[in-house]
Amino acid sequence: MAQIFPKWTNNLPTYVALGTFVLLTGAVGFVWYYFSPEYTDVGYRPKQPVAYSHKVHAGDLGIDCRYCHTGVETQAQANVPPTRTCMNCHTMVNTDSDKLALVRESFASGRPIEWVRVHNLPDYAYFDHSAHITAGVGCASCHGRVDQMEEVALVEPLSMGWCLNCHKNPDLHLRPLDQVTNMKWEAPVSQAEFARAARTEKDINPSIECSACHR
């Protein structure tokens, strides 16, 4: 009796199983990366109401981060500076610049400038700037080289996995307290040696328990 199906169909179940495995693996990998903050969030650079250059202020002029973000050492949030802070200088510098028209208007009216937040964590995640500053974590570890940015962009995913990686091994991000805002700082000895001494001195042992960030 003649065969109804050709001989190659004997391998069809194997081909289907392999094809299904490849497709599912590809789909998982696609979602794993392209739906993650590392892809969807990193590089976010919103248009701000005023073209403020961190490169000019923090980089070229060397203004310390804490001059504008005054509460970063003592508060959970690094506050956005009020217009008064801008006008401390700009009552004398570039007083007629068109780029600063909104700043002058805000100062005169008392209405704050509506800056667009770049680094934004979910409401269910708790992050304390002061705790990290006290431990000696540099601003650049989370915010990147802001002193080189004309427009601030998100350079790290700020995801749970990214935070946990640092909590498990914070050594690369530790520095002396008086250097936390120095974007160019490098350890005078090896970073590993400095971090080992700093962790011993300050008893730095970041929690990886859920309650550390989810309260």
- Give, for all 215 residues of the chain, the pLDDT tens digit: 567 777 777 888 888 899 999 999 999 888 878 887 888 899 999 999 999 999 999 999 999 999 999 989 999 998 899 999 999 999 999 999 999 999 999 999 999 999 999 999 999 999 999 999 999 999 999 999 999 999 999 999 999 999 999 999 999 999 999 999 999 998 888 999 999 999 999 999 999 999 999 98
Same domain, 147 and 206: yes
d(CA 30, CA 24): 10
Note the pLDDT of residue 36. 76
Note the pLDDT of residue 182. 96
Q: Is residue 185 part of a domain?
A: yes
Same domain, 109 and 73: no
Same domain, 126 and 31: no
Domain boundary at 58, 93, 114, which? Answer: 114
Note the pLDDT of residue 209. 95
Same domain, 35 and 110: no
Domain boundary at 60, 95, 114, which? Answer: 114
d(CA 174, CA 7): 66
CB 72 within 8 A of CB 133: yes
Same domain, 173 and 69: yes
Note the pLDDT of residue 1. 58
Specify the pTM.
Answer: 0.82
Same domain, 55 and 69: yes
Provide the domain limits for residue 141: 46-80+118-212
Q: Is residue 140 part of a domain?
A: yes
Q: Is residue 73 part of a domain?
A: yes
Give the chain's domain count.
3
Same domain, 86 and 30: no
pLDDT tens-place string over residues 120-152? 999 999 999 999 999 999 999 999 999 999 999
Note the pLDDT of residue 9. 78
d(CA 170, CA 160): 15
Computed on alpha carbons and rounded to an integer, the radius of gyration of the chain in Å comes to 25
Exposure string over 146-158, b if 16+ CB within 10 A, otherwise e: bbebeebebbbbb
Same domain, 130 and 196: yes
